[in-house]
Amino acid sequence: MKELIKKTVVELQKLLEEKRKALSDFKFQIAGSKIKNVREGRKIKKEIAQILTAQKEVK
């Protein structure tokens, strides 16, 4: 979390877009039964929440 607070707003926005794309890809892989590790989705959602929190603290 500390490393997220040190980033600029632009860097956080870019990272957020990447994580949201990863979550979307993950959902499609789950639907296609290509992934066995379903906990990965929980991890991605947690990272997205941390980025959003860091963005609020930076502003």
The CATH number for 25's domain is 1.10.287
The answer to whether the predicted template modeling score (pTM) of the entire model surpasses 0.75 is: yes
Note down the domain range covering 9: 2-58
Could you report how far apart the first and last alpha carbons of the chain are, in Å? 16
CA gap 8, 59 in Å, rounded: 10
Instruction: Count other Cβ atoms within 10 Å, centred on residue 59.
Output: 7
The pair phi, psi for residue 27, each rounded to 5°, is -65, -40
Q: How far apart are CA 22 and CA 41, in angstroms?
A: 9
| Domain count of the fold of the chain | 1
Q: Chunked in runs of 10, what are the mean pLDDT values of the chain (59 residues)? A: 84 96 93 85 95 88
